Amino acid sequence: MTLYNPMDLTGKTIVITGAASGIGKATAILLSKLNANLILLDINEKGLNDTKSQCKPDDFIGTVDLTDESAVETILKEAVSIRGKVNGFAHIAGIPSIAPIKAITKKEAQRILEINTLPALYLAKILSNKKYKAEESCSFVLISSVYANVGSSANVLYTMSKAAIQGITKSLAIEFAPKKIRVNCVAPGFIKTQMGEKINHFFDSEHDTLIESMHPLGLGTPEDIANSIAFLLSDASKWTTGAIFNIDGGFCAQ
């Protein structure tokens, strides 16, 4: 008897952005264990190679700056010609931004949106096209943050970019429902990854303890988020669309 696994991804091809590090990397490794075929995108080639070494040997890796829409389309075209049409994507790449309102600039605001938010739109546009989309089930997963749900000082640009992701999730869920494409969102609490390391210098040493205390279940791991992404990409969630999953150790329950 074969073991029943409702999250099995055999035969599905999934695109993952931000696959070189943290949550994206953990998601790639988990989806690979669930037997998905992967198209892994990131700007960091070395990290991508490291992730690939823990996935299937014939998975596709593409080094690309996600802010470059035409480069993204070119690489997806190449990937689909090799790996076949796509059953979904998870846009996980993202960057933090710590700055009080008086220190922000329009240029920085645009940079944050260009990485965290806008690729969600053009990935959805490209991968909902029949040229790239598989006939069978199709699921798109976007990554928001607890900071789209609760306010946080000196975080307005990041919050803007992640709140927009929740709006995009709901609107696309409705627009794509007739095409049977599901669109959902995961809003993680704090996970120790390189993202945290990039902004650590802004804070005093007590900050870590404070952040941890805001999570009733303690801090999460990249795998905690990867599990929810895998569920949303699999047919186990086939009646779920437009949903925002708070995977945050209880952060938003308070």
Ligand X SMILES: NC(=O)c1ccc[n+]([C@@H]2O[C@H](COP(=O)([O-])OP(=O)(O)OC[C@H]3O[C@@H](n4cnc5c(N)ncnc54)[C@H](O)[C@@H]3O)[C@@H](O)[C@H]2O)c1
- Position 148, amino acid: A
Given 5, 54, 202, 212, the residue binding other proteins (CB under 8 A): 202
Question: If you search the block for the tokens 């049977």, which residue do you land on?
Answer: 180
Q: Which of residues 133-172 bind other proteins (CB under 8 A)?
A: 153-154
Q: Which of residues 53-82 bind ligand X (CB under 6 A)?
A: 65-67
Binding of residue 195 to other proteins (CB under 8 A): no
Given 145, 169, 234, 241, the residue binding ligand X (CB under 6 A): 145
Q: Which of residues 151-190 bind ligand X (CB under 6 A)?
A: 188, 190
> At residue 32, what are phi and psi to the nearest 5 degrees?
-65, -40
Binding of residue 102 to other proteins (CB under 8 A): yes
How many chain residues interact with ligand X (CB under 6 A)?
27
CA distance 184 to 168: 9
- Identify whether 132 is a catalytic site residue: no
131 class by beta-carbon count within 10 Å (0-12 exposed, 13-18 middle, 19+ buried): exposed
Q: Using CA atoms in the order 153, 155, 160, 164, what is the torsion angle rounded to 10 degrees?
A: -100
Question: If you search the block for the tokens 């609760």, which residue do you land on?
Answer: 150
Minimum separation from the CB atom of position 67 to ligand X (A): 5
Kindly state the tokens that stand for 106.
């329009």
> Would you say the C-alpha torsion 91, 97, 102, 104 has a positive or negative sign?
negative
- Position 63, amino acid: T
Minimum separation from the CB atom of position 102 to ligand X (A): 23
Binding of residue 20 to ligand X (CB under 6 A): yes
Binding of residue 204 to other proteins (CB under 8 A): yes
Specify the DSSP class assigned to residue 33: H
- Contacting residues toward ligand X, per CB under 6 A: 18, 20-24, 42-44, 47, 65-67, 92-95, 115, 143, 145, 188, 190-191, 193-196
Active-site annotation, residues: 158
The binding site for other proteins (CB under 8 A) comprises 98-100, 102-105, 108, 153-154, 201-204
